[in-house]
Structure 1
Amino acid sequence: MGEKVAYRGSSPAIKGCGNLTFSSMDDACANLHLCEEAPLQLESQFYSVNEEWDIHCENRYLERRSTSLQMLGVMIGSLSAGQISSSFGRKKPLVICLAMTGVLSFATYFVTNLIQFTSIRFVLGLFTGGHSTVVVVYLLENIPKRSRMWINTTISYSPNVIIFGVIAYFFQHW
């Protein structure tokens, strides 16, 4: 989930609207009220929630708040999952977290505004944080002691960032 935060936080530059051209973002934000009828001319590296739901200028804080709430969900999930998996075993919480991560990721596709997006992603963060905590312990408990280091290094997050980069290159629109 963390690698996707960079994609959500990109604010497009407002270049103009209709016959108006803006020289800077400050100029664009000051004159945004003149663009109520004409579509905005935006320049961005990729299509983000800011473009999809017209989060510009004074409303940009909403996207940042959304990201903070999503990360709060990950933190709460990470902190609580260890105790839950110690009480109920590792497998059951792991399967529940994995299933809910899939369901909620799919549900994100159908959201129509930032509040729905943030709500679903907060709950998704709970399960993602829980999964990331429990899966490491579960794997290390089931791997022979002499193989733990190289297996943990091979399947950890770091080497997979390369794969995520390639995927992001080919799927630029979230």
Structure 2
Amino acid sequence: MRSAIYPGSFDPVTLGHWDLIQRAAKLVDRLVVAVLHNPAKSPAFSVEERVEMLKELTAPLPRIEVTAFHGLLVDFARAQDAQVIIRGVRAFSDFEYEFQMALMNRKLAPELETVFLMPKEKYSAVSSRFVREIGGMGGNLADLVPESLRERLAARLRKPD
């Protein structure tokens, strides 16, 4: 069985993430969407909330698991018996960073392959950071986040006047 890890902070999950999850799931027998616990950041949503939202979103899709992890991605991938790491690339600037990370992951775990996926063009400018900023100012999130999560995200992100 071919397994892949799609890691990220998903703070919050965007339509770009959702697009990549759906497309990556078609490439492997088992996809683990892995929410990174990074204590160095101050997220808008807790790891538990992000896992819960992703589980809700992916519930209709078979062969997708959602979990949290901390530590090195390659260690987590090995523990999950994954052979592939899925990474999203929106622009050349993403590629440069992701390429360096893929090379380091290859050095640490040569048995793992990194596969880069590009989201649909309409999601290439969508980022969690933009979603947090737009949502925080009460902006329309309709073309940025999955519809089933939109109200929850908007309510949480909107800053009091």
Pairwise TM-score range, normalised by the shorter structure? under 0.3
Q: Compare CA radii of gyration and give the structure with the larger one.
A: 1
Higher helix proportion (structure 1 or 2): 1
Higher strand proportion (structure 1 or 2): 2
TM-score for the superposition, normalised by structure 1: 0.25
Q: Relative CO higher for 1 or 2, CA cutoff 8 Å, sep ≥ 6?
A: 2
TM-score for the superposition, normalised by structure 2: 0.27
